[in-house]
Amino acid sequence: MTDPFLVSAVGGEPVTTARPSGGTNKELARRMRVPPDLLDDLPPDVAARMEQYAANRDVWDATWSWLCDEIAGTLEAGGFRRHNSRGGSRGGYHIGTGVVNDGPLVSWSTTEYAGNETSAFERTVEAVMNPALLEILQTCGFEARMIPEAEDFGGSILVTGRYRDGGTVAARRHVP
């Protein structure tokens, strides 16, 4: 898989920083979805990397946000709740955004957490739920595949499009 932090969406060339000269930490924080004070007093090289990440993230969102919305709508219509890793409802389906350039990642998350370790219970639930999510997504017309365990993000589901009009994948979009 391609690391979205190292390769841009424009033929491998760095994306021009979307933050204008003299831009504010507040604007960069909004685009990065972090508190503004987190960006105070950053060394220039770190600020430049964060600006590059934000520019890549903007391209990813413009390319794939429609598909994330359709996945969420489909799974919620089926009675599944969305996992919220930032507080609120924990456990449920999770959509990983901006992780890989090829599309969103979908996986199941439990409400039990054992620190930084994955517990046997979590592995058991994920072993059942991730294949079930894959089957549901494919049955509902999404172009999706399970990432092999030996690869980065193994066990997650990569969704790259949605079938339309008798089986064509007219809705698939790829970052160039």
Contact by Cβ (8 Å): 17, 117: no
Lowest mean pLDDT among 6-15, 86-95, 107-116: 6-15
Question: With the CA atoms of 54, 60, 66 and 71 taken in that order, what torsion angle do they form, in degrees rounded to the nearest 10?
Answer: -100
Lowest mean pLDDT among 59-63, 93-97, 112-116: 112-116
d(CA 49, CA 47): 5
Task: Give the pLDDT score at 2.
Answer: 44
Question: With the CA atoms of 159, 29, 55 and 102 taken in that order, what torsion angle do they form, in degrees rounded to the nearest 10?
Answer: -10
d(CA 94, CA 103): 14
Q: What is the pTM of this model?
A: 0.70
55 pLDDT band, cuts 50/70/90, is: confident
Looking at the predicted structure, is the pLDDT value of residue 32 above 50?
A: yes
Looking at the predicted structure, is the pLDDT value of residue 111 above 60?
A: yes
More confident site: 89 or 105:
105
